[in-house]
Amino acid sequence: MPGLTIGDTVPNLELDSTHGKIRIHDYVGDGYTIIFSHPADFTPVCTTEMAAMAGYAKEFEKRGVKLLGISCDDVESHREWTKDIEAYGGGKHKVTYPILADPGRDAIRQLNMVDPDEKDAKGVSLPSRALHVVGPDKAVKLSFLYPATTGRNMEEVLRAVDSLLTAAKHGGKVATPANWKPGECAVIAPGVSDEEARKMFPQGFETADLPSKKGYLRFTKRVT
């Protein structure tokens, strides 16, 4: 199936939502937005995910990152279901982010959020648990595509967003290693010379001593 992937511009669709009409590019604006689909309202995993996302909303807001849900149920269903989501979370977290309604399935197709294995009672395709982080240039920076049976991990979404923001802040000249968490050392990107790296990081950096002696694995101090 052809589908939106990393580097592609998200289509500038206009859809109804729990916050009124939303045009995707306007919503993304000059920042980062996490667009995430869920198979259906009033289903178990989706409820736990939407509640988890509501719990993380403040963390994303602090970083200037917007949230945007989407499924094929209508706005009225989203509104009713929101009561369940908030009750499940013990009333601690309101669902403050909008949820788009795509009953026609055109948006989820264009956004590569269709799960070919999941159909509703009428045999019509349902969304997968897809999640795209879209940048200020409206292009997909990162995508997670999970099946219906796997609830996502919001801590990993936050970690990946922190990595994206760290790299963007340094013009792509730093990157974050495997299993990195905010506050841990980053690495210096391959295109940066040692001289430039010394200017960028006056506190210095540490080059791993590896058999190849190529000196490419350089850890900077804490990057925030």
Q: What residues are annotated to the active site?
A: 46
Indicate whether 216 belongs to the interface with a second copy (CB under 8 A): yes
29, 42, 136, 221: which one contacts a second copy (CB under 8 A)?
42
Indicate whether 124 belongs to the interface with a second copy (CB under 8 A): no
Considering only residues 62 through 101, tell me which ones interact with a second copy, judged by CB under 8 A.
80-81, 83-84, 87-88
Integer Cα distance of 179 and 204 in angstroms: 22
122, 193, 214, 224: which one contacts a second copy (CB under 8 A)?
214
The burial of 159, by beta-carbon neighbours within 10 Å (0-12 exposed, 13-18 middle, 19 or more buried), is given as middle
CA atoms within 13 A on the CB side of 204: 2
Cβ atoms of 127 and 114 within 8 Å: the answer is yes
* Tokens of residue 83, six digits: 């009561």
Considering only residues 147 through 166, tell me which ones interact with a second copy, judged by CB under 8 A.
147-156, 159-160, 163-164
Residue 83, classed as helix, strand or coil, is: helix
Nearest to a second copy of 116, 202 (CB atom): 116
Question: DSSP code of 39?
Answer: S
31, 59, 145, 200: which one contacts a second copy (CB under 8 A)?
145
Nearest to a second copy of 14, 88 (CB atom): 88
Indicate whether 138 belongs to the interface with a second copy (CB under 8 A): no
15, 37, 218, 223: which one contacts a second copy (CB under 8 A)?
218
Amino acid found at 108: I
Indicate whether 208 belongs to the interface with a second copy (CB under 8 A): yes
Write down the least CB distance from residue 21 to a second copy, Å. 26
The burial of 212, by beta-carbon neighbours within 10 Å (0-12 exposed, 13-18 middle, 19 or more buried), is given as exposed
Sequence-distant (6+) residues with CB within 8 A of 203 are: 220, 221
Indicate whether 16 belongs to the interface with a second copy (CB under 8 A): no
13, 14, 16, 45: which one contacts a second copy (CB under 8 A)?
45
